[in-house]
A = this chain, B = another copy of it.
Amino acid sequence: MTRVNGSIPDQLVDVLLPDGRRADLTLRDGRIAAIDDHQPGVESISHGANVIRCSGALVLPALVDGHCHLDKTFLGAPWQPHSVAGSLRERIADEKALRTRVGVPVAERATALVNRMVSLGTGHARSHVDIDPEAGLTGLHALLEVRAAVRDRIDIQLVAFPQSGVVTAPGVADLLDAALADGADLIGGLDPAGFDGDVDGQLDVVFGLADRHGAGIDIHLHDGGTLGAGQLRAIADRTRALGLAGKVTVSHAYALGQLDGAELDRTATALAAAGVAIMTNGPAGTMPPVLRLRDHGVRVFAGSDNIRDAWWPYGTADMLERATIIGLQGGLMTDDDLGYAASLITDSAASVLGLTDYGLRPGCRADLVLVAASGIPEAVAAHPQRLWVLHRGRVVAAGAAADRPPAY
């Protein structure tokens, strides 16, 4: 495979489109200018043009990682054994100690993770960043710099995430306000009932700040069963009342995986009606029932969540592998199901992130990834090597997994 990192091709010749057609993609000014049927032996572009011959590789729009924590990863640092901690509060305290001990600065670790994401075809990511009384805005400022430094290779949204609570953590409401003023795109939240013990108190702050800054909302909700379901409906109520359809996400929403049929239906109906999206990373045992949510019209999308950090040692940043993990948890088996799994890491996630020129149509941004697969179903099930990755029309990875020197 040719190493063409940094090049700006005029055309991708002989790609396989998800609908099964073989096509030539003409690129111009970082966008898809035209999609023409590929005619073997016929050169449809002027001589001397910069062309990548794709030999039938499947082209997908750039993958989207809808939920990650760039500030938490230990990538870029020596391996950190996982510590066993008890309650959520203990784990949060444990994480702060570990992240201090690891020694490598946030920016360096986040960049190591971003590099891996790019090499795996992720073109858009939504990262939460801890805002708490100890860290203040340090993590946010580091990630704002990383975002600027990598903007030619990946687009990053930042969520100001109150990992240590809102109502119960002194000064955090003001810090979140400052974070949004400094460049965070969304306001986060954390288990309003289970962590802060004050659903209205936390949601007042979160929705209030979102309103003041015109920011989106993305709330971590681990609270299970009826406790979680009640909060999902409370979030849906506020979203509808404030006309924020499409701007609000609940991440994890484990409760949806634990409800009986009637309460699940009622909660899913409320989420769909309010336009609240659900993010899952496919956790064992507690994954929301994604096909049932789809049938209710709830928009679901996917993210890696933690990638090799204090929360767990797993995570490869590979969103096609993530689609397999979700598919195995959710029993997604048919080609239609696998297409749905793919949508969680492409179209659906792009829609939640508000990307307006995303996709495989003329005019869309040329954020693309090519893989060796016969179609979308195989791309998910086999999550094969990424052959080329383009961002705004520029090749940002080419056979990266192949040619990259070992990372030890």
Q: A382 vs B308: C-alpha distance in the bound complex, in angstroms? A: 9
| Cβ of A319 to closest chain B Cβ, rounded Å | 15
CB contacts (< 8 Å) of A382 on chain B: these are 308, 316
Contact (A335, B402) CB under 8 Å given A58-B408, A308-B381, A316-B382: no
- A403 and B406: CB pair below 8 A? no
A147 interfacial contact with B, CB 8 Å: no
Q: A387 vs B78: C-alpha distance in the bound complex, in angstroms? A: 20
Pick the residue among B83, B372, B402 that contacts A399 (CB under 8 A): B402
CB contacts (< 8 Å) of A83 on chain B: these are 334
A56 interfacial contact with B, CB 8 Å: yes
| Cβ of A385 to closest chain B Cβ, rounded Å | 6
Q: How many copies does the complex hold?
A: 2
- A314 and B79: CB pair below 8 A? no
Q: A313 vs B381: C-alpha distance in the bound complex, in angstroms? A: 6
A279 interfacial contact with B, CB 8 Å: no
- A372 and B406: CB pair below 8 A? yes
Encoded as 1 (CB less than 8 Å from any B CB) or 0, chain A from 315 to 356 comes to 110000100110111010111011000000000000000000
A81 interfacial contact with B, CB 8 Å: yes
CB contacts (< 8 Å) of A325 on chain B: these are 325, 328
16 residue pairs of the A-B complex, CB under 8 angstroms, read: A16-B408, A57-B406, A57-B408, A58-B408, A79-B375, A81-B334, A84-B334, A284-B331, A308-B382, A313-B381, A314-B324, A314-B327, A314-B381, A315-B381, A325-B328, A384-B407
